[in-house]
Structure 1
Amino acid sequence: MVASAFAIVYIVWGSTYFFIHKALEGLPPFFIGAFRFIIAGLLMMAWALIQGENVFNFKNIKPAIITGLLLLFVGNGVVIWVEQFLPSAMVAIMISSSPIWFVLLDKPKWQENLSNRSTIVGLIIGFAGVILLFSERVMSTFTSLNSGRDLFAMLLVIIGSMTWAGGSLYSKYNSTQNSAVVNSTWQMLAAGLAFAPCSLLSGELNQLDLSSVPTGSWLAVVYLIIFGSIIGFSAYVWLLKVQPATKVSTYAYVNPVVAVLLGIFFAGESITKMQILGLIIILFSVLMINLRQYRAARAAS
């Protein structure tokens, strides 16, 4: 189950950058957030009720709502909003700083993580690998950045990355609900309901003509609901409960790898020697971050 959950988070979330960009071609950002998470939350609530889960327990709902606002409304919302202005490659690189924030913000694990040389080296190497992977795109991006707006968007991505790490750690240490389905339900509903007034106040709904939205944008939203939210996010929430947060955070290094590979196989993009080197370095960094767990498991067996 752990291996399957990691595979889902690594592969499915690596594809969401592309599908968010496709959704934005016909739909405004706050509307996407509200529609995606409200529908996903309602579907998950229906499933939880069918399974006989204890859904309406305020003691369990409160930490889930806080987590949902930090992770999905702020963390994911920033990604959706800034992809209007920044290339997805640039966003992916900045989001890949989140494993570093996981280590710095995880106070209960400071002694363990900061004294673990392989973890620290792996984090640094992984971030360098992501930069190397997108180095050619980054250079062209910096020459075309709109200094004011785009720099502000980049700052928001860093804040969103920190918020995502903080929300993930809050979920790990404060969740009172054993069911990942119930946790994910309230987290997504909280985020969706927070996006709704933003969409209204920003005037998105006044300019939105649903009849003119391309089919591709609707299909992208459906993918984000089913795979990005219901399947991917539930796997992530469950992993936070059963695995070290630093290990779970490696998704942020692998997701850009998946995004590049999808571009090669499905969008006809080519891969350079520099990108191949970046891919190898990133995979090596994930091995370094998990080296301590591998050794412990081997010693135990």
Structure 2
Amino acid sequence: MNNIKSKWIYLFVLSIIWGSSFILIKKSLLGLTPYQLGALRIIITGFFLLLIGFKTIKTIRKPDWKWIIITGVLGSLIPAFFFAIAETEIDSAVVSILNSLVPLNTILLGFAVFKITSTKRQMLGVIVGFIGTAILILKGADLNPNQNYLYAIFVILSTLMYAANVNIIKKHLQHVKPLTIAAGNFAVIIIPAIIILLFTDFFSAKTFEKPEFKMAMVYITILSFFGTAMAKILFNKLVHMSTPVFASSVTFVMPIVALMWGYLDGEAFSLIQGVASIIILLGVYLSHKKHPKRS
């Protein structure tokens, strides 16, 4: 009974943390460029993870480092920049809904690239999810003509990278502890993040003199600690105490939290976009619904 309660508590907390990440990115962009935000998110998160997981890195075997590097780049480095770039043109709530395509793309890539078989119901979920995505983007462009919905491609590409990351970890790094993978990832990607930050004029007086700079640093620190470092640990624990199917259901609640933040921040959201969001979540549900047991 305690284990069941713990699973739901972890799920709820993760939904709040990840659902709030998108508004934190939006607020951070008021005082930082997308490249500064992406680099700082990696650097600050890396600091936290290496602080608690540095000793575990020495347990990584040489053959595993190739996959550690690939999952670090696909699962954290590039998406950190892509999400920041996307939110310069698209509302945070819409970005959060597009992010819910991750489990659908995991199934799609698992079938197409990693030869992991999928059921008809899962494939139906993929189709339904992409229909919802198309409606969301097209209607969003009509509702918000000042926003460039072509930037949705950055989010969609990120969900494909997240999906590849999950499949690679499952196939090649199943024997490595979650904290070790995360620490190894950030030990590698923190180096290019520092280099990128050095080329963004972050350390110039012009950046520090911005009135929004101080609050942007507060937002990015909160995002890095809670939305990336702490969330990775909590999610790994949730997977450990339950199942990947249950853990991935966090994607159902995340958009609801993000929509609430977006509404409170004055973001426009139409009824049709709401319907499209439900269609996307229906696709996610279908892709994760188990077959009924036959007697």
Whether TM exceeds 0.5 here: the answer is: yes
CA distance in 1, matches of 2:286, 2:214: 43
More displaced 10-residue stretch of structure 1: 187-196 or 127-136: 127-136
Report the counterpart of residue 161 of structure 1 in structure 2.
159
Per-residue CA distance 1:25-80 (angstroms, 9 max, x = gap): 1122232233332222222232236xxx5332342555333211111111232111
Residue aligned with 1:112, SS: coil
Contact persistence 2:93–2:262 (CA under 8 A): no
2:224 is the alignment partner of 1:225: yes
Q: 1:30 to 1:217 in 2, by over 3 A?
A: same
Equivalent residue letter for 1:101: N
2:146 is the alignment partner of 1:144: yes
Q: 1:6 to 1:65 in 2, by over 3 A?
A: farther
RMSD between superposed Cα atoms in Å: 3.7
Report the counterpart of residue 54 of structure 1 in structure 2.
56
Match of 1:64 among 61, 68, 74: 68
Offset of 1:92 from its aligned partner?
3.7
Report the counterpart of residue 122 of structure 2 in structure 1.
119
| Aligned length, in residue pairs | 285
Report the counterpart of residue 3 of structure 2 in structure 1.
none
Report the counterpart of residue 18 of structure 1 in structure 2.
23
Offset of 1:270 from its aligned partner?
8.3
Offset of 1:234 from its aligned partner?
2.7
Per-residue CA distance 1:240-266 (angstroms, 9 max, x = gap): 77745x7765555643332113334x4
Q: 1:167 to 1:105 in 2, by over 3 A?
A: same
More displaced 10-residue stretch of structure 1: 270-279 or 55-64: 270-279
2:59 is the alignment partner of 1:29: no
Per-residue CA distance 1:74-119 (angstroms, 9 max, x = gap): 1232111232233334534543443332122114875631xx2332
TM-score normalised to the size of structure 2? Answer: 0.76
Equivalent residue letter for 1:163: M
Offset of 1:280 from its aligned partner?
4.9
Match of 2:286 among 282, 285, 288: 288
Per-residue CA distance 1:156-190 (angstroms, 9 max, x = gap): 43333322211222122222654322222222343
Contact persistence 1:247–1:289 (CA under 8 A): no
TM-score normalised to the size of structure 1? Answer: 0.75
Contact persistence 2:92–2:262 (CA under 8 A): no
Equivalent residue letter for 1:85: E
State how 1:1-301 maps to structure 2 within 5 Å: 2-48=7-53, 54-59=56-61, 62-107=66-111, 110=115, 112-113=117-118, 116-129=119-132, 137-141=140-144, 143-145=145-147, 151=150, 153-175=151-173, 178-206=176-204, 208-210=206-208, 212=210, 213-237=212-236, 243-244=243-244, 251-252=250-251, 254-264=253-263, 266-267=264-265, 273-274=271-272, 277-278=275-276, 280-292=278-290, 295=292
Q: Which runs of 5+ in 1 are unaligned?
A: none
Offset of 1:292 from its aligned partner?
0.8
Contact persistence 2:125–2:284 (CA under 8 A): yes
Q: Which runs of 5+ in 2 are unaligned?
A: 1-5
More displaced 10-residue stretch of structure 1: 64-73 or 7-16: 7-16
Equivalent residue letter for 1:102: T
Contact persistence 2:37–2:81 (CA under 8 A): no
More displaced 10-residue stretch of structure 1: 231-240 or 67-76: 231-240
Q: 1:284 to 1:98 in 2, by over 3 A?
A: closer
CA distance in 1, matches of 2:166, 2:203: 31
